[in-house]
Amino acid sequence: MKTLFSLLALAVIAQSAVLVDKSATARNNINIGAVYPGDRLLSRSYVYKPAIANTIQYEDFIYRGNASTRISAILATEQGYYTQRPSIWIRSGGLGYPNVTLSVQSLRGYGYYYLIDIWGR
């Protein structure tokens, strides 16, 4: 009986060790479009806000190209070893347009740090 109980306890421990919360390690990045031959890097920028206690921080990143430029790819990658779980989304413009506005928002009490690349021709 003791052997059966210890085997059952080991099975429960092993099963609980396998379960991992992947949502806690997921990053909210934007990878839209593709970089084709002939495209060039139109803009590379970092947006950064350090954590402030009990504060939600936000920022709009605006890229304005000239009228003949068309965006072919938007890459926004969260930097750093640990994620702070910020949100980033396209507010206006985007692929095929000469401009784009990206909105970045942190969780309450956290910050954000993104590398934003805009590709086009």
Token couple for 66: 């000239």
CB 74 within 8 A of CB 85: no
Which whole number is the average pLDDT over 30-50?
Answer: 95
DSSP SS3 for 6: helix
Neighbouring CB atoms inside 10 A of 73's CB total 19
Per domain, the residue ranges of the chain are 27-120
In the prediction, which pLDDT does 17 show?
Answer: 46
Higher pLDDT, 2 or 26: 26
Distance (Å, whole) CA 87 – CA 28: 6
- pLDDT of 23 above 90: no
